[in-house]
Structures are given as structure tokens and as C-alpha cells.
């Protein structure tokens, strides 16, 4: 019978950390979300940029009024 | 084995925070002038404990209402304590300059108090009865919540007066 190698503590430790993943990291508490609440952390931090992006998107996607922009349906947006 | 189960239960209970009917967690926090505000100081009063932060938008809306509640119900035994949870004191001070509070303000930059109370959202408020037990808790603040909150505060004051 093949002899098992003696357990290596370092390897076991690494395995345990890998298996644990990020589970030991505590989630951000509600009162710690000050930085996340900053306007620049939003999806559309810059209002005009967002408006411009939306315009490009709707015209490239050939979807007039897709984002609530009024259009006559002529495709000339 | 029983001891481990009990420990687990305790850990779970602390994670759940303060539920209505449970005794409110004690705190000792500095106010604007450095004096210590404690839960024990508020005994005999109906305490409205409000957790706020400078970056929290609904908190801005709640402050004028809290001022109004304090002014109207102070004579009947209501004490509002607003606990500021900003990490930087300057942020809290700036907020208070824009939205002045006419009720007791305390500061907890460590987050120990909201952790003990199991705060799940900002703002969170707890109404604590004269016996030191939590009557209800409320998460968030919308202008439409005002009427219901006031009704519950008034009812607690009425019940506590008897």
C-alpha cells in the first residue's frame, strides 16, 4: 500500500484560506457607506456625460425614444 | 456542548441587534461640548434615538421634523438623541451647521453603538420607553413616514404617562 505523505501544515493553512475565500471579510455596515454615497460614485456621476452617452446609445442601437427621448419614429435622431 | 450552543445563540442575538421589547443597549457618547450622553441619563423619559450621518440624504429631511417633534413633545417627556456616525467630526459639524438640531446630539465615530443596536440602514431610529425597553424601530426616513411616526410617539407618551 502506498504510504501517505505526512501532512504539511503550510499547505493545509493555504488550503483553508483558499476555501474560506473572502468570507472572513465583514460586509460594509450601513453607517460606513459615506464614501459610496458621494455623487461621483454613482453610475452617472457626470450628468452631461450620461446624457451624451445615452444619445450615442439610442442612435447606435437604432432605437429612437428607447430612453424616453421623444422621437417621431422617422429614424432621424 | 451546551455552552457552545449558548455562545452561538448569544453571538446570533448580538448580530440581530435590539428588537422591540428587548432592553436598549447602553451607550456613553460625547456630545458637541464633550459632555457624556448615556442611556441611563434618559431614564424616565421616552427616548427617540436617531442614528444619522452627514452624507445621508434622508437624514437632512428628518432633522427639521425631529426639531419639531422635540419642541412639541418635550413637555410630555420626549427626549430625542441624534447619534452622528461620521468618521470625521468636521463632516458632522458641517452638516449640523446647515441643518441645526434643537435636540441632544452625540457622536460615535467607532460605530460601536449602531452595531449594538443592529442598525440596518441610514437613518435608523429607536423609540425607547421609560423602562429602557425598545418600543419600535424605524429604518429610513420619508416625508410620508412623519404622520405614522408621530402617531406612534404620541401613543407611547400617552401610555407612559399613565
**In this predicted structure, what is the pLDDT of residue B43?**
83
- Identify whether B73 is part of a domain: yes
> What average pLDDT does chain B have?
89
Question: What is the rounded (10 degree) CA torsion for A35, B24, B93, B141?
Answer: 60
Q: Taking CB atoms and an 8 Å cut-off, how many pairs form between chains A and B?
A: 31
Mean pLDDT for back-to-back runs of 10 residues, chain A (77 residues): 66 77 80 88 82 80 60 56
Q: Which residue has the cell 420626549?
A: B78
- Identify whether B135 is part of a domain: yes
Q: Which residue has the higher pLDDT, A1 or B43?
A: B43
Residue B64: CATH number of its domain: 3.40.30.10
pLDDT of B33 > 80? The answer is: yes
Q: Which of B86, B114, B115 sits opposite A34 (nearest CB)?
A: B86
- Identify whether B4 is part of a domain: no
- Identify whether B134 is part of a domain: yes
Q: How do the domains of chain A map onto residue ranges? A: 40-67
Pairing of strands B78-84, B46-52: parallel
**In this predicted structure, what is the pLDDT of residue A26?**
78
A33 to B119: CB separation less than 8 angstroms, yes or no: no
Q: Which residue has the higher pLDDT, B93 or A60?
A: B93
- Closest of B110, B111, B83, B109 to residue B96, by C-alpha: B83
- Identify whether B150 is part of a domain: yes
Q: Which residue has the cell 410620508?
A: B144
Q: Which residue has the higher pLDDT, B6 or B129?
A: B129
Nearest residue in chain A measured CA to CA from B51: A31
**In this predicted structure, what is the pLDDT of residue A33?**
92
**In this predicted structure, what is the pLDDT of residue B88?**
93
**In this predicted structure, what is the pLDDT of residue B42?**
87
In chain A, what residues touch B137 (CB-CB under 8 Å)?
none
ipTM exceeding cut-off 0.85 for this assembly: no
In chain B, what residues touch A31 (CB-CB under 8 Å)?
51, 53, 85, 111, 114, 119, 122
Range of the domain at B82: 23-161
Contact B82, B52 (CB under 8 A): yes
**In this predicted structure, what is the pLDDT of residue A72?**
53
In chain B, what residues touch A32 (CB-CB under 8 Å)?
87, 111
**At how many degrees (to 10) do helices B89-98 and B57-73 cross?**
60
Q: Which of B55, B119, B124 sits opposite A34 (nearest CB)?
A: B55
* Overall domain count for chain B: 1
Amino acid at each position: 500500500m502506498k504510504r501517505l505523505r505526512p501532512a504539511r501544515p503550510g499547505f493545509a493553512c493555504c488550503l483553508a484560506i483558499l476555501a474560506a475565500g473572502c468570507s472572513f471579510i465583514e460586509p460594509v455596515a450601513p453607517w460606513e457607506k459615506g464614501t459610496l454615497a458621494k455623487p461621483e460614485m454613482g453610475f452617472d456621476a457626470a450628468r452631461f456625460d450620461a446624457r451624451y452617452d445615452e444619445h450615442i446609445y439610442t442612435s447606435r442601437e437604432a432605437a429612437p425614444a428607447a430612453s424616453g427621448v421623444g422621437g417621431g419614429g422617422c429614424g432621424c435622431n | 456542548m451546551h455552552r457552545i450552543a449558548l455562545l452561538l445563540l448569544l453571538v446570533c442575538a448580538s448580530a440581530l441587534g435590539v428588537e422591540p421589547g428587548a432592553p436598549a443597549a447602553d451607550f456613553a457618547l460625547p456630545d458637541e461640548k464633550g459632555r457624556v450622553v448615556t442611556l441611563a441619563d434618559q431614564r424616565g423619559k421616552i427616548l427617540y434615538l436617531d442614528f444619522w450621518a452627514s452624507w445621508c440624504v434622508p437624514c437632512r429631511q428628518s432633522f427639521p421634523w425631529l426639531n419639531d417633534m422635540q419642541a412639541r413633545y418635550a413637555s410630555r417627556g420626549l427626549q430625542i438623541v441624534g447619534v452622528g456616525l461620521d468618521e470625521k467630526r468636521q463632516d458632522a459639524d458641517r452638516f449640523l451647521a446647515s441643518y441645526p438640531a434643537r435636540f441632544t446630539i452625540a457622536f460615535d465615530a467607532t460605530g460601536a453603538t449602531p452595531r449594538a443596536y443592529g442598525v440596518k440602514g441610514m437613518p435608523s431610529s429607536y423609540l425607547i420607553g421609560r423602562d429602557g425597553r425598545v418600543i419600535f424601530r424605524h429604518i429610513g426616513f420619508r416625508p410620508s413616514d412623519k404622520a405614522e411616526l408621530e402617531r406612534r410617539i404620541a401613543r407611547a407618551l400617552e401610555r407612559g404617562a399613565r
